[in-house]
Structures are given as structure tokens and as C-alpha cells.
Amino acid sequence: MNSKQRTIRQMSREAVKSFDSYTAQGTKKWNWESGAKDLAYQVGSVSKIMMQLTKERWAEGKNKEALKAELSDELADIIAITLFIAAELKIDVEKAWRQMLELDKKKISERSKSG
């Protein structure tokens, strides 16, 4: 692993530390419910940028590269919020990830046989 890569656990700790620092700007301490509310907002931001990329919304004068940079930031926000919510609820994201992959593999196998 190169020095810039992070494990899910490291990213989770960083996300929690970041969200915990929000109190310095005068907001109440965030919990998983705060994160869940903000997650919906962030997904909306991603949707808007995607629509701008496909010319379904006005791009506000931004070119494709600028929109992709914004999309990158918003996707990172979604990852951070998701990891924060999981940490708050004591969910093992690595275990959940492995289970999701196994379930997807099983679904694809079953659907391939029946189709």
C-alpha cells in the first residue's frame, strides 16, 4: 500500500475526527442522525452535478473538468458521511463490504441460472 492510500478503518477514524470538529464552528456535535440528514443533501448535490455533466441542467458556465472535480469532492463527502454513520452505529464496514460482495455474487449466479 502506498503512503497515500488509506484503509477503511483509517478513513473511518479520519471521518469521525472531521465531523467531531464541526462543534468548533458553532454547530452541535454530530451523531449518526445528523450524518443521515446530510447524506441526503450530498446525494442531491451529486445528482445535480451528474445532470450538469449530461447537459440536463445548466452547468453554471463550468466545463467538464470543473464539474468532475466537484463530483469528486461530493463523492468523497458521501464516503466520509457513510463511514461516520457506520462508526457511530458501530458497524464493521469491512465485514459489511465482504457480505455485500458475497450476496451480489450469489444474486448474479442465481439470476444467470434462471435467465
Contact at 8 Å (CB) between 28 and 102?
no
Angle between helices 8-20 and 93-114 (to 10 degrees): 120
SS3 at position 110? helix
Flag whether 1 is in a domain: no
Position 2 scores a pLDDT of 58
Position 113 scores a pLDDT of 81
Position 3 scores a pLDDT of 62
* Residue entry with cell 466537484: 70
The cell for 112 is 444467470
Position 58 scores a pLDDT of 97
Report DSSP state, residue 115.
-
Flag whether 75 is in a domain: yes
Domain span at residue 25? 9-114
Flag whether 32 is in a domain: yes
Number of domains in the chain: 1
pTM over 0.75: yes
**Buried (b) or exposed (e) across 93-110, using 16+ Cβ within 10 A?**
beeeeeeeeeeeeeeeee
H or E element, residue 37: helix 32-53
Position 55 scores a pLDDT of 97
Q: What is the mean pLDDT of each run of 10 residues along the chain (115 residues)?
A: 80 94 92 96 97 97 97 97 97 95 92 77
- Concatenating the DSSP letter of every residue in 41-105 gives HHHHHHHHHHHHHTTSS--TT--HHHHHHHHHHHHHHHHHHHHHHHHHTT--HHHHHHHHHHHHH
Position 102 scores a pLDDT of 96
Question: CATH code at 34?
Answer: 1.10.287
Flag whether 3 is in a domain: no
